[in-house]
Structure 1
Amino acid sequence: MGTYVYAITEAGHPLNLEGVHGIGDPAAELRTVRTKDLSAVVSDAPTDLRAKRRDLVAHQGVQDRLMADGAVLPMRFGLVGRDDDQVAAVMEEQRDAYTERLKEIGGRLEYNLKVARDEDDLLREIMTDSAEIRRLNEGTRQNPGAHQDRMALGELVAREVQARQESTGSELVARLAPEAERTAVAEPTKTHFLNVSFLVTRERAAALSQAVHEEAERRGDAYTFSLHGPLPPYSFV
């Protein structure tokens, strides 16, 4: 069956899990695996483990409850050990690394920001700024059969889109980073050119939210800012 691992904490964490259940149907009972310095919150692993919404919610629910009372190393969904003894052995083997990481993230939260820009707005800007793109665009409109010009236009526009999105993303991270202790930039999504996480102290969380709001106001309606958090600090463990 295996042991499903939700999170690792320091041994002194209160582990207040009353009323919280684990993944599976029926929901698994939670238990702890302890070493001298660390604790892991675990349950039996379902035999048909898959990333169902119900189980994803339960997985994060356990972590959210633990985060309310102290530092937590959140494990990603789907981590299964052979049994409780193996989990304890790994915690003991990695004790120093886990303890150090828990100190780093103690009292800190993760917020994830995704930013998108209206495609038509970006293309209008590119067209305005580039005489070469305007020339190629006009040429292909007048001569639809000019395949070479059409290919050149597409390649040039694609390069400009990528360059401007990367530049804007870097600028946004630089403007918001002072509110955070650490940042972690992830791959863009299909719809968002910026996907970045911030590790912030609990005291600075409101300041980060305000900074994001002000940046969204400054950029205008062509931009969509989506800030999510607080989250388990996956991006920093």
Structure 2
Amino acid sequence: MRTVSREEGRADRAGAVYTYALTLKDHPLRLDGLSGVGAPPAPLRTVPAGPLYAVVSDVSEVPHPTERDIGAHHAVQQRLMEGGIVLPLRFGATALDDDAVRSAVEEHADDYAERLRELDGCVEYSLKAAQEVGQPDDHVRDGEADSEAGSRPGELGAQDAQPRLEAVASGVTEAFRPFTQEVKPGAPSGGDFLSVSFLVSSDQDELFIASEMSLAHQMGEDFEFRLHGPLPPYSFT
């Protein structure tokens, strides 16, 4: 979808059209009580495009990623997900007008519709993991320098930590494959050694969550697992 730069957004006094998600036309589209992005937020509405609807609202300019607008963006997508499958768009998808939205969606409407049907009944779970400070790979024994290696034992442990954590990450990811439709690894950030998203069907949802709880218990206090979901399938659209 063709986006509008911030400069274009400011220059266009008529504003722009902000797009939250795509749905099939049989979606119930229950959006009452929700506010969109922007200040002030405009009412949510739909733009028909072939077999699809684009859920949009008018904005005076391309919105900045403030906490309020990011929250509003996700709230719209979460509500849509409660009524059926959606293709969520990333924050900031803005077009010049309804015709531009319609043209961009219709260009790939068949592909979007097919993907929506493939995602029917599925949600995303995002899993991140970190090693707790002070646990095995972080242990540094006080002692004299190794006369042969010329380094402390703790320094060797730190060098070995990354390959071991990569092996743990791979094992954790593989443990969930039987309960998922698709897996998409991400790039860990901060102190995390694992960042991965799973596409999970409704008939595997409880097994997936139970498996995550069981694995976290087995891994013990050495590791911190953070599971987020169910979410719209952001990583699989």
Would you say same fold, with TM above 0.5?
yes
Which residue matches 2:8? none
Which residue matches 2:211? 211
Which residue matches 2:3? none
**Could you list the runs of 5+ residues in structure 2 that have no partner in the other structure?**
1-14
Trace 1:10-49 onto structure 2 (pairs within 5 A).
10-47=24-61, 49=63
| Bigger helix fraction | 1
Greater than 3 Å deviation, 4+ residue runs: 148-154, 156-159
- The reply to whether residue 226 of structure 1 matches residue 232 of structure 2 is no
Cα distance change, pair 138–124 in 1 and its aligned pair in 2 (3 A): farther
Which residue matches 1:162? 162
Q: Percent identity?
A: 39
Amino acid corresponding to residue 19 of structure 2 in structure 1: V
Of 136, 145, 151, the match for 1:139: 145
Amino acid corresponding to residue 227 of structure 1 in structure 2: L
Aligned residues: 222
Amino acid corresponding to residue 12 of structure 1 in structure 2: D
Contact 1:11–1:35 (Cα < 8 Å) also in 2: no
Amino acid corresponding to residue 87 of structure 2 in structure 1: L
Contact 2:145–2:152 (Cα < 8 Å) also in 1: no
Cα distance change, pair 79–152 in 1 and its aligned pair in 2 (3 A): farther
Contact 1:122–1:161 (Cα < 8 Å) also in 2: no
Residue 119 of structure 1 and its aligned partner are, at CA, apart by 3.3
* 2:113 alignment partner, SS class: helix
Which residue matches 1:2? 16
Amino acid corresponding to residue 67 of structure 1 in structure 2: M
* 1:14 alignment partner, SS class: coil
Residue 46 of structure 1 and its aligned partner are, at CA, apart by 4.0
Normalized against structure 1, the TM-score is what?
A: 0.86
Distance 1:35 1:124 in 2: 55
Cα distance change, pair 46–205 in 1 and its aligned pair in 2 (3 A): farther
Of 50, 53, 56, the match for 2:70: 56
* 1:29 alignment partner, SS class: coil
Residue 150 of structure 1 and its aligned partner are, at CA, apart by 5.5
- The reply to whether residue 65 of structure 1 matches residue 83 of structure 2 is no
Residue 26 of structure 1 and its aligned partner are, at CA, apart by 2.0
Residue 203 of structure 1 and its aligned partner are, at CA, apart by 2.4
After superposition, the C-alpha distances for 1:27-72 in whole angstroms (9 at most, x for unaligned) are 2211110023010000112426111111111101111111111110
